[in-house]
């Protein structure tokens, strides 16, 4: 009823969670993996918000309507940790999160995920358009966040 994933859909997030690479996310984008949730650097960035992170459940659930509470709770924990990591490693002024469900809600990947954006004064996040970023450009952001998670008492 609330699902829009087409038959035969090859989920790019599930591929990355299995250790594979896709056209967009690659396994090297993973920042931290917990039992039920994983955070990785997004493959598309907004002009003034580089290095934003996606947090996903480790099992395939299409959207907010499908994700079970035990995954939602663990995702929220990881979203919070990611927000703290962005503040401490990027030196951003704040953090925004956002999540989309269904075509009318601008969902483009049929795997539940939450965006965690570094925010800066006058960055105009909501008035700008994202662009794809090559893995080489994402690598430094992933390394910084991996180092933070490795040293943090989360």
Q: Residue 105 domain-assigned?
A: yes
Average pLDDT, the chain: 96
Task: Give the pLDDT of residue 130.
Answer: 94
User: Which residues are CB-contacts of 69 (< 8 A; sequence separation ≥ 6)?
Assistant: none
Residues 31-54 pLDDT 10s: 999 999 999 999 999 999 999 999
> Is this structure's pTM higher than 0.75?
yes
Cα-Cα-Cα-Cα dihedral sign, residues 80, 87, 24, 3: positive
Return d(Cα 101, Cα 67) in angstroms, integer.
Answer: 12
The radius of gyration computed from the CA coordinates of the chain, to the nearest angstrom, equals: 15
Return d(Cα 47, Cα 34) in angstroms, integer.
Answer: 29
Residues 87-133 pLDDT 10s: 999 999 999 999 999 999 999 999 999 999 999 999 999 999 999 99
What's 53's domain CATH number? 3.30.428.10
Q: Residue 112 domain-assigned?
A: yes
Identify the domain containing residue 126 by its residue range: 12-151
Number of domains in the chain: 1
**What share of the chain has pLDDT > 70, as a percent?**
99
| Residue 55 DSSP label | E
């Amino acid at each position: 009823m609330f699902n829009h994933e087409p038959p035969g859909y090859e989920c790019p997030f599930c591929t990355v969670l299995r250790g594979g690479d896709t056209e967009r996310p690659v396994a090297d984008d993973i920042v931290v993996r917990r039992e039920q949730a994983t955070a990785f650097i997004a493959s598309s960035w907004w002009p003034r918000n580089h290095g934003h992170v996606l947090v996903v459940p480790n099992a395939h659930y299409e959207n907010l309507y499908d994700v079970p509470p035990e995954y939602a709770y663990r995702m929220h924990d990881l979203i919070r940790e990611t927000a703290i990591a962005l503040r401490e490693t990027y030196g951003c002024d704040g953090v925004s999160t956002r999540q989309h469900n269904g075509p009318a809600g601008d969902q483009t990947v049929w795997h539940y995920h939450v965006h965690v954006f570094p925010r800066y004064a006058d960055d105009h996040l909501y008035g700008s358009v994202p662009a794809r970023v090559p893995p080489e450009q994402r690598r430094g952001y992933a390394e910084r966040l991996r180092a933070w998670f490795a040293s943090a008492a989360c």
